[in-house]
């Protein structure tokens, strides 16, 4: 299988019962701009329609980044309305990925920052390379996580650890991510693909109907109260776009200087 509509943004292939979705923008650190998110949505749709797929691996091209998140320059030019639409798009795509009946393994081959980490959090399992760095640095830009990170991170690591990562915008090494339960396994970079593929093949060997039901029920338990909060996150993300601090934070990042916050 392949996504012919955007071959340089997302590739999709299947080997036996395992489909691999790959973000293929290494020069852009596999950033998730709107076009890439739409291509990801098409890949998820194709996986859902393929009855022979029993498990999915999501990864990035190259050793540097799983996905470094949003395109900062593009976000700097967005209006609050644009920001709301961008956040809504990310939510829709990640919700569809998470809702697949088959298990999804994130193979974090490098930096997973911002939307990149939020993408990994929408997967069932996260396997990370030893050199990977993970975090939600949005508050350092005058923003908040806008693709579900304020909710899925707390579900995965607990509220106390989520506060550390979200409020402070901390970026942590893979070893610490394993210690706090953010990732499930840490592997040398040259064995990551095989480790993620091996886990996916093991999952693919389970009874499909039973696995689908188990996934639906565990997801329902985790998300019982999350849907309204996810909707609120979209609005809150757009609200930060209307702030002077968002403009200053993104400008400071692009100019490689410390931001001068105004608090408005």
Contacts of 185 (CB under 8 A, 6+ apart): 127, 128, 178, 195, 199
Average pLDDT over residues 125-131: 98
Q: What is the model's pLDDT at position 73? A: 83
Specify if 243 maps to a domain. yes
Q: What is the pLDDT of residue 221?
A: 78
The whole-number pLDDT of residue 6 equals: 42
* Average pLDDT of the residues in 221-249: 84
| Mean pLDDT over the full length of the chain | 93
Query: Residue 2: which pLDDT band, with cuts at 50, 70 and 90?
Result: very low
What is the pLDDT confidence band of residue 124, given thresholds at 50, 70 and 90?
A: very high
Q: Is the pLDDT of residue 61 over 80?
A: yes
In a domain, 225, yes or no: yes
Position 105 scores a pLDDT of: 98
pLDDT digits (tens, 9 = 90+) for 182-213: 999 999 999 999 999 999 999 999 999 999 99
Which residue in 13, 98, 118, 248 is the catalytic one? 118
Q: Is 118 a catalytic site residue?
A: yes
Cβ neighbourhood burial of 42 (10 Å; 0-12, 13-18, 19+): middle
Residue with tokens 């993300």: 237
Question: Of all residues in the chain, what percent carry a pLDDT higher than 70?
Answer: 97
Query: Does the pLDDT at position 228 exceed 90?
Result: no
Confirm whether 201 is domain-assigned. Answer: no
The confidence band for 4, taking pLDDT boundaries of 50, 70 and 90, is very low
- Is residue 134 a part of any domain in this protein? yes
Out of 138, 194, 202, 233, pick the active-site residue. 138
Share of the chain above pLDDT 90, in %: 81
Instruction: State the pLDDT at residue 5.
Output: 39
- How many domains does the chain fold into? 1
- What residue spans of the chain are helical by DSSP H? 34-49, 72-76, 80-98, 115-121, 149-157, 159-168, 174-179, 192-204, 208-222, 226-241, 244-255
According to the model, what pLDDT value does residue 74 have? Answer: 84
Using pLDDT thresholds of 50, 70 and 90, give the confidence band for residue 120. Answer: very high
Output b/e per residue, 227-259; b: 16+ Cβ within 10 A.
eeebeebbebbbebbebebbebbbbbbeeeeeb
Residue 264 falls inside a structural domain: yes
Per-residue pLDDT at 100 exceeds 90 = yes
* CATH, residue 235: 3.90.226.10
For residue 104, give both structure tokens.
């999804």
In a domain, 196, yes or no: no
User: What pLDDT is stored for residue 118 in this prediction?
Assistant: 98
Give the pLDDT confidence score for residue 219 in this predicted structure.
Answer: 85
Is the confidence at residue 139, as pLDDT, over 70?
yes
Q: State the average pLDDT over residues 242-258.
A: 91
CA atoms within 13 A on the CB side of 218: 15
Show the domain range for 3.
1-190+207-264
């Amino acid at each position: 299988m392949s996504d012919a509509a955007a071959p340089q943004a997302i590739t999709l292939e299947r080997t036996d019962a395992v489909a691999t979705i790959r973000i293929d923008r290494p020069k852009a650190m596999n950033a998730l701009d709107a076009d890439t998110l739409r291509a990801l949505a098409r890949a998820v749709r194709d996986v859902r329609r393929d009855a022979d797929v029993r498990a999915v691996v999501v990864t990035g091209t190259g050793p540097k980044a799983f996905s470094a998140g949003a395109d900062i320059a593009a976000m700097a030019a967005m209006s609050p309305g644009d920001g709301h639409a961008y956040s809504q798009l990310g939510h829709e795509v990640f919700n569809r990925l998470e809702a697949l009946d088959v298990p999804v393994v994130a193979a974090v081959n490098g930096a997973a920052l911002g939307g990149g980490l939020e993408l990994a959090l929408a997967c069932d399992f996260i396997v990370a390379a030893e050199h990977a760095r993970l975090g939600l640095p949005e508050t350092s830009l005058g923003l908040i996580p806008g693709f579900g990170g304020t909710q899925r991170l707390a579900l995965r690591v607990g509220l106390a650890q989520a506060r550390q990562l979200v409020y402070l915008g901390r970026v942590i090494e893979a070893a610490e991510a394993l210690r706090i339960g953010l990732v499930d396994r840490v592997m040398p970079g040259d064995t990551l693909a095989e480790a993620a593929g091996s886990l996916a093949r093991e999952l693919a060997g389970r009874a499909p109907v039973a696995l689908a039901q188990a996934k639906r029920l565990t997801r329902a338990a985790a998300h019982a109260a999350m849907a309204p909060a996810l909707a609120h996150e979209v609005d809150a993300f757009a609200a930060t776009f209307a702030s002077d601090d968002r403009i200053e934070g993104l400008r400071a990042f692009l100019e490689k200087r410390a931001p001068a916050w105004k608090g408005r």
